[in-house]
Amino acid sequence: MTVRTTGAAITDIRNYRELLLNLTRRELRSRFRRSFLGWGWSFMQPILMTAVYTLVLGTILKVKPEAGDPSGIDTFAFFLLAGVIPWSLFAGGLGAALGSVSNAGGLITRVWFPRELLPLSAIMAAAFTLTIELSVLMLAVSVFEQVMILHLIPVLLVLVALEVMFTAGIALWLSACNVKFKDVEYLTSVFLLAYFYVTPVLYSVNQIPTSSVFGTSVTWQDVALINPMARFVMAYRNIFYDVRLPGPETMLWLAGWSILVCFLGLRFFARRADYFAEAM
């Protein structure tokens, strides 16, 4: 059997883009089906997480975030939401995409279509939810802090696109592995829990020690910023908390990581997609 190339996978995705949109709509409709709040849950999850962390960190432990530079914003809830919402795309997208292929065995064995559409539709649905949540956050910051963020929307759209690419690349890789190795699903949940605390979602990058790592010229803050999600959170906070553009170094770093991870994930998935039906 001929190994399917990355270029062929991209062509198939483009040719079947209407099916991708239909699968995304199905994912969105099924996500909150038969729930009382419906789409309200997409807002409730980050709000409840923020409320709990604000209570524990801000009220009980008296943790105060540094004021936004140059905005001067010091509202802990906005500081947390600027990190929690983009994290929800990453963790929620991976969680939804992880079993998208292995749970569609009946469909895969009956008809051919680009298998990449299954995890990608889950990521697209998570991205749609993200845009709604960020819109509400932008409105709340503008109203309560009396600052204008509209001029940063073009950069925000680029940032969202890069995070979607980054998340999609990892989702493609993990969903392909999960077809054959079911342990991937459980390992991913453990990894995401640890990765959440390693990523500066609940704290600022500036709170990471700047002491040297084992006597080298590299600091612990430098090590933390190797983490792409740390850079994503920092960039979102630049927009919603500092109300300024992320630095060009940060954007170039994220662009490089996102393109590389997306390409490698798609390449890994495309080379194995034709064997999924046999593994079901």
Give pLDDT tens digits for 51-100: 888 888 877 877 788 899 989 999 998 999 999 999 999 999 999 999 89
Query: What's the pLDDT tens digit per position in 227-247?
Result: 999 999 999 999 999 999 999
Q: Say what the pLDDT of residue 4 is.
A: 82
Query: Is the preceding peptide bond at 70 cis, omega within 30 degrees of 0?
Result: yes
Dig out the tokens for 49 from the structure. Answer: 């997480």
Identify the weakest region by mean pLDDT among 35-44, 183-192, 202-211: 35-44
Stretch 115-126: mean pLDDT: 95
| DSSP 8-state secondary structure symbol assigned to residue 58 | I
Q: Which residue has the higher pLDDT, 206 or 166?
A: 166
- Give domain status of residue 132, yes or no: yes
- Give domain status of residue 222, yes or no: yes
Residue 36 has pLDDT above 80, yes or no: no
Which residues 6+ apart lie within 8 Å of 214 measured at CB?
none
- Give domain status of residue 1, yes or no: no
Q: Say what the pLDDT of residue 142 is.
A: 93
- Give domain status of residue 174, yes or no: yes
| Cα–Cα distance for residue pair 230/170, rounded to 1 Å | 16
- Of the pLDDT bands very low, low, confident and very high (cuts 50, 70, 90), residue 273 is confident
Domain span including residue 97: 6-279
Strand partners, 212: 219
For residue 57, the Cα-to-chain-centroid distance in whole angstroms is 24
Q: Say what the pLDDT of residue 182 is.
A: 82
- Give domain status of residue 209, yes or no: yes
Q: Say what the pLDDT of residue 249 is.
A: 93
Total structural domains in the chain?
1
Q: Is the pTM of the predicted complex or chain greater than 0.85?
A: yes
Which residues 6+ apart lie within 8 Å of 163 measured at CB?
86, 89, 90, 232, 254, 258
Stretch 3-21: mean pLDDT: 91
Q: Say what the pLDDT of residue 115 is.
A: 92
- Give domain status of residue 169, yes or no: yes
Residue 1 has pLDDT above 60, yes or no: no
